[in-house]
Structure 1
Amino acid sequence: MTRSSLRRPRRLTAATLAITASMLLASCANSESNRGAGESADSGSTLEIGMVNEQTEPGTPNKGGTLTFSGFSSVTTLDPAKSQVAGAVGGSELGAIYDSLMRYDPIEKTFVPQLAQSLDPSSDSKTWTLKLRDGVKFSDGTTLDSKAVVDSINRYVNNKGPQSSLWAAKVASMDAPDASTVIFNLIDPWTGIQSMLSTGPGMIVAPTAQQGDQFTPIGAGAFTLEKFTPNEELLLAARPDYHGGAPNIDKLKLISIVGAQPTAEALKTGGIDAAYMRTLTPILDLIESGYPGFIDIPSLGYIANVNMAEGRPGSDLRVRQAMALAIDPETLNTRVNNGKGLPGQEIFQDTSRWHNDVAPIGVDPAKAKELLDQAKADGYDGKVTFLSIQEPSSQATALAVQAMLNAVGFDVQIEYVTSASDVTKRVLVDHDYDMGTGALSLSEADPFERLYTNLKTGGRNNATGYSDPQMDVLLDELGVATTDEDKKTVLAEIQQRATDTVPWQIWGNVPTLDVWNKNVHGLQQSIDGIMFFDEAWKE
């Protein structure tokens, strides 16, 4: 039997907003287009969600060796309760140590058991029953049983892990009627528990991991810790007693190379074997060069946040509307990506399975000027500050936004800071900004969680201060929708409400790429760009 058949029978982090220099790409431009509502920018990109440069069946896996993976950002903690677990932020690294109860199959667009044997809902989706696989052990030799699952999730919630508030709002209680069964009793119908159990809450830490204030990364994944230097290197060793069989590779070396282009060059020269990328130009180059991988296109990948606090320009809906009508995503795409990017004002572009036909706000500088003049007549002076990282691509974005807004009557000043973490602190923690570029990166698997935490009145990650009772109702309706059809219906209403109330300035999407060398095989994808390495091997 193969391993595949065995497997299948308010803490704020920089990752929450995913503000990165690599996605702030634009050139200074004046927009002369005049597209009305419903006429969104056309993408010159041929990118689609799915595998690229698929490999032929490679034959019998080789054994041994070290696989080196470059993540998007350096790993700073090995505790799933202290990290936003996603492909861009330690998700693959932590998954190697802990595995996850469930996994999202992005090809089949469904959740499948990983450490679990099954996860089944009741007819009303208010009770979910998890069955664990037999014989799964933590790396310290203790058994992964139902009590360990319940205790680990409770620890995650008590430690206020990034997804803990939503979990607490949705899950009334957990029962462990026997050693292999966990029953989740929900407050309302909810399918998002599958997503949760594929990320941080589903990465189960061993009972022995926490001893007082001391935490040791002990999980049930395919690898164990050999060396960890925060922000530099994580070296893992294969577990011969992994429940799916010993991994093919002996060692897994996890690093983070600063900059997308150097990462791509390292892949080409063999300095690394695999990487997670989210910058368009090197992504397109690697695809055109024949490198195999998986393209994902999270929604709301390229947006601007506008502070709506009292006294800020964005507190006036007319100002936010004027900004959206003045800034042309197609101009940004043409100047930056030679027309090959993914511009648009929709929440869900046509690359997404959640796409709908509701018209976005459109681009109309004349109307923008009219709205801005109305706001000025009521006392607004037209001044707005744009927060930007002081590096070339971000500076170009800032200048382009400044030019298009000034063209309709705004007076935009650019304020530069030195790093993405500075932007994150100003936007998410201090709320000390007028306008700044960011991203929500909504997962195709389940967009509810990030929409809820970013749009809901008082939400944990609501960086703009947006508050709209009608949107709150729609978010609650999305949370209890249990079929894709029902979710799409509510998401269309959310798009319409977003068109009316402008919670963000939407400029397009940024693709991500899980990519590897042609001599690498067996990598598996999960939710949000997370990869698993237990079946990986090198020719």
Structure 2
Amino acid sequence: MKRKLVVAALVAVTALSACSPASEPGAGDQVLRYAPAMFPVSLDTHKYAGEEAVQTAIQQIMEPLVRVDDGKIVPVLAVSWQNPDPNTWVFKLREGVKFSDGTPFTAKDVVASYQRHQKLDGPLVPLYASVTSFAATDDATVTVKTGKPLGTLLSSLTLLFIGPGGKVDADGFFTKPIGTGPFTVSQFQPDEKLELAANPSYWDGAPQLSKLEFVNIPEVAGRITGLENGEVDVLTQIPPDQVASVKDSQGISYATTPSWTYYFDWFNHNRKPFDDPRVRQAMWHALNLEGTVNDLFGDLATVAQAPLAQGVIGAPKLAPYAYDPAKAKQLLAQAGLPNGFSTSMQWPLEGGPNIRALAQAMISDWAKIGVKVQPLEKERAQWLEDFGKLNWDMNLQTNVSGTGDADYTLARLYICSAKRNGYCNPALDKLLLDARTSIDQGARAKLYTEAGQTIWKDAVGIFPADLASNSAHRDRVQNFVMPPSGRPLFTKVTVSGS
């Protein structure tokens, strides 16, 4: 295995070096090379709206009406919004903005992008379920009507990226998409190469980077070698066991930042004995999560305090389950399982930092209370198929609250109609749907606290850890910031020297 990794690293870096002369900058040009952990399979943001790799790439090219910054919704292509009544949102658009091909940006482009997103029926379409009309009132105004109040509309719109209305739905548009963003597409080959150039007419000021390259190096070892050799400028999602070597490298800056990503282990409530909350609670009390999280992740994770990451709008702070094997055994006995039971847990191969080690630590703790868990590490395609069909006993994975709003995680995953894990609680449904329909953010936060407490008490799943984001960049890179979404924006980034 080690030999394969070394060979892969050398091949990747050699290939990168071989192509470097062709992309060498001219005098005064600033070129930055970014090696993401996952490479975009497409740039079609409306079709792959939930994919982090796609969103990271497309936000350099296309823009939404609003985005989340420091826990608040801030203007992008919309400069203001208001609610003349609880079921109406009126957005005033930024005037004088043009797409990179020179076409003026208007409200019709927003509507066309929304309609395409809805037509493709992607994973985020349910976020707009109560929208009854989405219309261009005039060139600078978009009016959204809802059947009932929709307090999550702003956060959902952070993931709706806008293209030119006359072109966004044309075949092949997303092979070289056009947007209002800071960069334009020079070349894109799925899973292989993405080269972007500065948009000189960008409304918020042209980037100082003349060229931004997304470089695909599948192996972690190859990405780190590329960073150390200067063939790569920025890395993200560095595994915990590789952090020390990156930190110790000369000329490289390393940082951790909060994120909206967390680990969860769901129970399949359709399968015995996980239909009994006492069994689910016992499984949680059996885990020494504080010790495991500290050992495996260091400063890259903290024990979770909610069924979603802290820092997300509406995330409550709850007390972690106490590590108490004696109580776990007592709960199992009360459930009629004094001698434990046998079950299984699946997770996707390379589905998160140290995921295999986390799974093994949990399985080891469960064995101490008489629960034998078969480990099922699966290739991602097989895991996805089985996950969707509920063909599992327990499922371990990471998740990210993509909009930075609690609704994206809680109402999308835990209402009865979602049918994600067999859990159904009408009282929880009411809390989550009331939170979604309130436009009072304070009231929403209280409802999410109640909802979080319900999920916590019922032990719908186990929530081991909130993950931090980490990144490393060469010292010649300035102004790089890793946001909690895990999707860096390179508009203000600069580089100096070679």
* TM surpasses 0.5: yes
Matched, 1:269 2:233: no
Match of 1:73 in 2: 38
| CA apart distance, 1:262 | 4.6
Q: Structure 1 residues 531, 79: closer, same or farther in 2, change over 3 A?
A: same
Gaps of 5+ in 2: 1-26
Q: CA contact under 8 A between 2:150 and 2:438: conserved in structure 1?
A: yes
Task: Indicate which of 149, 165, 179 corresponds to 2:126.
Answer: 165
Secondary structure in 1 matching 2:274: helix
Shift of residue 336 of structure 1?
Answer: 1.9
Q: 1-side partners of 2:299 and 2:493: how far apart?
A: 36
- The residue that corresponds to 1:90 in the other structure is 54
Cross-structure match for 2:275: 315
Q: 1:222 to 1:390 in 2, by over 3 A?
A: closer
Percent of matched pairs sharing the same residue? 26
Say yes or no: does 1:464 pair with 2:421. Answer: yes
Cα deviation, 1:441-488, whole Å, max 9, x if unaligned, reads 3368312112111111122xx532221111111111221333443233
Distance 2:374 2:422 in 1: 22
User: Paired residues, what number?
Assistant: 465
Q: Which of 433, 441, 453 is residue 476 of structure 1 equivalent to?
A: 433
- Trace 1:46-445 onto structure 2 (pairs within 5 A): 64-85=29-50, 88-106=52-70, 109-116=71-78, 118-122=79-83, 125-167=86-128, 169-199=129-159, 201-212=160-171, 215-216=174-175, 217-260=177-220, 262-277=222-237, 279-282=239-242, 291=253, 295-298=257-260, 301-309=262-270, 311-337=271-297, 341-344=301-304, 346-347=306-307, 354=314, 356=316, 358-376=318-336, 382-389=341-348, 393-417=354-378, 419-427=379-387, 429-442=388-401, 445=404
1:390 CA displacement? 5.9
Using the TM superposition, give the Cα deviation of residue 205 of structure 1 relative to its aligned residue in structure 2, in angstroms: 4.9
SS at the partner of 2:46?
helix
- Quick one: structure 1 residues 408 and 288, their matched pair in 2 at CA, closer, same or farther if it must change by over 3 Å? same
Shifted more, 269-278 versus 319-328: the winner is: 269-278
Partners of 1:344 and 1:218 in 2: CA distance: 40
CA–CA distance in structure 2, aligned partners of residues 335 and 524 of structure 1: 27
8 Å contact from structure 1 (residues 275, 516) kept in 2: yes
| Mapped partners of 2:422, 2:296: distance in 1 | 30
**Deviation (angstroms), 1:500:** 2.1
Change in CA separation of 1:491 and 1:264 when aligned onto 2, cut-off 3 Å: farther
Listed one character per residue, the Cα deviations across residues 304-329 of structure 1 (whole Å, up to 9, x for unaligned) are 122222x4542332321221121221
How has the CA–CA distance of structure 1 residues 222 and 387 changed in structure 2, closer, same or farther, with 3 Å as cutoff? same
Residue 386 and residue 358 in structure 1: after superposition, are their counterparts in 2 closer, same or farther (change >3 A)? closer
User: Aligned letter for 2:72?
Assistant: T
CA distance in 1, matches of 2:269, 2:222: 38
Shift of 1:265: 4.5
CA distance in 2, matches of 1:67, 1:150: 34
Paired AA for residue 102 in structure 2: G
Alpha carbons of structure 1 residues 238 and 390: separation in structure 2 relative to 1, 3 Å = closer
More deviation, 369-378/323-332: 369-378
Higher RCO, 1 vs 2 (CA within 8 Å, ≥6 residues apart): 1
Distance in 2 separating the partners of 1:339 and 1:242: 38
> Which amino acid in 2 is paired with 1:73?
M
Deviation at 1:351, TM superposition (A): 6.5
Cα distance in 1 between the residues matched to 2:122 and 2:28? 37
Superposition TM-score, scaled by structure 1 size: 0.77
CA contact (8 A) 1:283 1:513 kept: no
Moved more, 437-446 or 226-235: 437-446
In structure 2, the residue matched to 1:499 is: 456
Distance 1:140 1:196 in 2: 27
Q: Is the 8 A contact 2:198 2:209 kept in 1?
A: yes
Query: For residues 28 and 274 of structure 2, what CA distance do their matches in structure 1 show?
Result: 58
Give the secondary-structure state (helix, strand or coil) at the position aligned to 1:81: coil
Deviations 1:249-273 (A, max 9, x none): 2221113433556534433432222
Provide the C-alpha distance between the structure 1 equivalents of 2:358 and 2:242, rounded to a whole number of angstroms: 19
Is the alpha carbon distance of 1:305 and 1:444 closer, same or farther for their aligned partners in structure 2, counting shifts above 3 Å?
Answer: same
Whole-angstrom distance in 2 between the partners of 1:474 and 1:330: 30
Q: Cα offset for 1:402?
A: 1.8
Cα deviation for residue 386 of structure 1 reads: 1.6
The RMSD of aligned alpha carbons is: 3.1
Return the alpha-carbon distance in structure 1 between the equivalents of residues 481 and 439 of structure 2. Answer: 27
Q: CA deviation at 1:75?
A: 0.5
